[in-house]
Amino acid sequence: MKKVIYGLASAMLLTIILLSTSAESKSWGVSVGDYVKYSVTVSGNLPPELEWVRELGYLQIQVMEIEDEGVRVQRAYYFKNDTIKRETYFDDEGSFIESIDSPFFEIANISEIKEFNGVKREVICMSIGYEDYNSTRYYDKQTGFLLEEEGHDVSRNYFIHIKVSDTNLWWTPEKPNQGFLYNLIISIVIAALVIISLITIILLKKEK
């Protein structure tokens, strides 16, 4: 329980830290109302104290307030039984930076391009280990939001996968409207038939 809660909390705290440093001084790179929803998938042998994770419908992080000193964000757990648990954090709450310096952590800051919901984003990839819990996290470089995490508890052999499912940070390319395409094709066919008919009439008149 402690390791997973620590993992979720540390990911959240690092998100806040990145949100606070993703742009130049006092330009946080995000706006009030910005949010990311995450799908949460678990598999393997979850211990009894972690069974609640299976009941998560989705997780959401939203920017609630922006101040000169930092960004206040809310993390909300939406459970399948329609209950909601909300927690609010500020960038100076917690001390995740100090935890990173501990011998349990191995950080690899790698910038790469990764696709989410049809949109390619530049992300910072971080590999983090805490006791027997290892995770790979992808943070949006522009905004600092966590976009994906793959976690694995080696000793208990279970996996947790968190990935962005919806967000207003960017526009998702819309799929072509099938109705529009159908009407367009019909219009082209009708126009072609009309043109052919007119050409035929003109040719017949010339023959006369």
Close Cβ partners of 70 (under 8 Å, ≥ 6 residues apart): 16, 19, 20, 28, 90, 91, 92
- Backbone phi and psi for residue 102, each to the nearest 5 degrees, phi listed first: -70, 160
Higher-confidence position of 156 and 176: 156
CATH T-level fold of 2-167: YmcC-like fold (2.40.360)
Rounded mean pLDDT, 4-16: 49
For residue 91, the model assigns a pLDDT of 58
99: nearest Cα among 168, 185, 6: 6
Which residue in 21, 39, 47, 10 sits closest to 153, CA to CA?
47
For the segment 118-130, the average pLDDT, to the nearest whole number, is 85
- What is the value of pTM for the model shown? 0.64
The rounded percent of the chain whose pLDDT value lies above 70 is: 67
Mean pLDDT of 149-171: 88
Both tokens assigned to 181? 């395409």
What radius of gyration do the chain's Cα atoms show?
25
Domain ranges of the chain: 2-167, 175-208
Q: Which residue has the higher pLDDT, 186 or 50?
A: 50
- Which tens digit of pLDDT belongs to each residue from 33-62? 889 999 999 999 888 888 888 899 999 988
